[in-house]
């Protein structure tokens, strides 16, 4: 609620990260109070976009599918806590990268293809081939956006004082070592790499 208020104050609005949609696009608050404080999506506008209509149909229909934006955490690292030299968080940069891809176009191509149309919707217990195909596409583009963001942060690591890509790699290694039951002294040594 506080972010919604801050976005309307000219001086404070620059300090609030933009709200982003499923494809990484910036969401513009609808006009009129209280909707802009509660619902960041456009109200009362029908979409003719085949991808968005299919996402809505699968989410609201018997399949009750859940489609989501990329995770804000990679392992134990919160991407909203790391900023580049321009002050943009790693998560927001990842969402910008996602918006720069052809994810939306590829989703539209997928849902209008004959092979997709011949698939099944599924139900809450079985995802069905349509939901599975969309989730595979979603996951591929989320991974691509994360990878590009980590490469970008790696290139600027000296300016910002940390190497996010190395931190993610170390965190992943540490979690695997912990699951294997490796000696704690080895974990302590690995944790030192994170500093």
Tell me the domain boundaries of the chain. 46-192
Residue 31: the pLDDT is 55
Determine the Cα–Cα distance for residues 23 and 49; give it in Å rounded to an integer. Answer: 13
For position 36, what pLDDT does the model report? 44
Q: Which residues of 8-28 are buried (b: 16+ CB within 10 A; e: fewer)?
A: eeeeeeeeebeebbbbbeeee
Rounded Cα–Cα distance for residues 20 and 27 (Å): 5
Q: With a cut of 50, which residues of the chain have pLDDT below it?
A: 1, 6-13, 35-36, 38-44, 184, 190, 193-195
């Amino acid at each position: 609620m506080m972010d919604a208020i801050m976005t309307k104050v000219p001086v404070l609005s620059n300090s609030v990260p933009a709200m982003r949609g499923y494809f990484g696009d910036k969401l513009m608050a609808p006009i009129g109070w209280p909707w802009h404080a509660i619902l960041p999506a456009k109200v009362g506008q029908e979409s003719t976009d085949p991808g968005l209509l299919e996402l809505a149909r699968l989410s609201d229909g018997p399949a009750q599918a859940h489609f989501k934006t990329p995770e804000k955490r990679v392992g134990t690292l919160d991407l909203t806590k790391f900023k580049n030299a321009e002050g943009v968080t790693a998560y927001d940069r990842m969402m910008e990268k996602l918006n720069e891809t052809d994810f939306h176009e590829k989703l539209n191509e997928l849902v209008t293809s004959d092979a997709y149309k011949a698939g099944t919707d599924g139900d809450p217990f079985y995802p069905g081939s349509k939901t599975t195909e969309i989730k595979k596409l979603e996951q591929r583009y989320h991974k691509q956006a994360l990878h590009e963001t980590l490469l970008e942060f790696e290139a600027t690591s000296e300016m910002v004082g940390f190497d996010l890509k190395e931190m993610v790699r170390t965190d992943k290694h540490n979690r695997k070592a912990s699951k294997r039951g490796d000696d704690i002294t080895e974990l302590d040594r690995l944790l030192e790499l994170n500093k």
